[in-house]
Chains A and B, each alone.
Chain A
Amino acid sequence: MSQFRTVAIVVAFLVLLGVGFLFLQGPKPHVEIKAEPLWTIGFFEITNTLFTTIFVTITILGIAIFATRKMSYIPDGLQNAMEAVIEFLYNLVENTVGPKHAPMMFPAIATIFLFVIVANWMALLPIFNAIGKIEEVGVEEDQFFHEVVEFQDVGVFAVVPGSEEIELHFEESECDGLEGEAKEECLVEGRAHAIEEAAAETDIDEGSKVGILLPFFRGVNTDLMSPLSLAIASAIFVEWWGISTLGFIGYGKRFVNVGRLARGNPMGLIDFFVGILEFIAEVARLISFSFRLFGNMLAGEILLLMMTFLIPLMLAIPFYGLELFVGAIQAFVFAMLTLVFGALAVTSHDDHDEEHGHQSGGEVAAAHQVE
Chain B
Amino acid sequence: MDIVTFAPLLELTDDSMRFIGAGIAIGLGGFAPAIGIGWLVSKAMEALGRNPEAQPVIQTNMILGIAFAEAIAIYALVVAVMIGFVF
Question: Are the C-beta atoms of A33 and B74 separated by less than 8 Å?
Answer: no
User: Which residues from 298 to 312 on chain A have a C-beta closer than 8 Å to any C-beta of chain B?
Assistant: 298-299, 302
Which among A298, A329, A363 is the interface contact of B81 at CB below 8 angstroms?
A: A298
| A143 CB-CB contact with B under 8 Å | no
**Chain B, interface residues (CB within 8 Å), range:** 20 to 34
**Top 9 closest A-B pairs, CB basis?**
A295-B74, A333-B67, A292-B71, A295-B78, A31-B85, A173-B14, A299-B77, A295-B77, A370-B68
| A288 CB-CB contact with B under 8 Å | yes
- With A288-B71, A333-B63, A333-B64 known as contacts, the answer to whether A171 contacts B13 (CB < 8 A) is yes
| A121 CB-CB contact with B under 8 Å | no
Question: Are the C-beta atoms of A296 and B74 separated by less than 8 Å?
Answer: yes
| B57 CB-CB contact with A under 8 Å | yes
**Which residues from chain B sit less than 8 Å from chain A, CB to CB?**
13-15, 57, 60-61, 63-65, 67-68, 70-71, 74-75, 77-78, 81-82, 85-86
Bound together, the chains give a CA A363 to CA B58 distance in angstroms of 11
How does the 8 Å CB contact mask read for A358-371 relative to B, with 1 for contact and 0 for none? 00001100100011
Q: Taking the nearest CB of chain B, how far is it from the CB of A27, in angstroms?
A: 16
- A residues within 8 A CB of B75? 291, 295
- A residues within 8 A CB of B85? 31-33
Bound together, the chains give a CA A292 to CA B81 distance in angstroms of 14
Question: Are the C-beta atoms of B61 and A362 separated by less than 8 Å?
Answer: yes
How does the 8 Å CB contact mask read for A23-67 relative to B, with 1 for contact and 0 for none? 000000001110000000000000000000000000000000000
23 residue pairs A–B, Cβ–Cβ below 8 Å: A31-B85, A33-B82, A33-B85, A92-B60, A171-B14, A172-B14, A288-B71, A291-B71, A291-B75, A291-B78, A294-B78, A295-B74, A295-B75, A296-B70, A296-B74, A299-B78, A329-B63, A330-B67, A333-B63, A336-B64, A362-B57, A362-B61, A371-B68
Question: Are the C-beta atoms of A298 and B78 separated by less than 8 Å?
Answer: yes
- A residues within 8 A CB of B57? 362
Bound together, the chains give a CA A292 to CA B60 distance in angstroms of 18
Question: Are the C-beta atoms of B78 and A337 separated by less than 8 Å?
Answer: no
| A137 CB-CB contact with B under 8 Å | no
Question: Are the C-beta atoms of A299 and B63 separated by less than 8 Å?
Answer: no
How does the 8 Å CB contact mask read for A269-299 relative to B, with 1 for contact and 0 for none? 0000000000000000000100110111011
User: Which residues from 326 to 371 on chain A have a C-beta closer than 8 Å to any C-beta of chain B?
Assistant: 329-330, 332-333, 336-337, 340, 362-363, 366, 370-371
Which chain B residue has the least Cβ–Cβ distance from A296?
Answer: B74
Q: Taking the nearest CB of chain A, how far is it from the CB of B65, in angstroms?
A: 8
Which chain A residue has the least Cβ–Cβ distance from B85?
Answer: A31
Question: Are the C-beta atoms of B64 and A299 separated by less than 8 Å?
Answer: no
Which chain B residue has the least Cβ–Cβ distance from A30?
Answer: B85
- B residues within 8 A CB of A332? 63
- B residues within 8 A CB of A296? 70, 74
- A residues within 8 A CB of B60? 92, 336
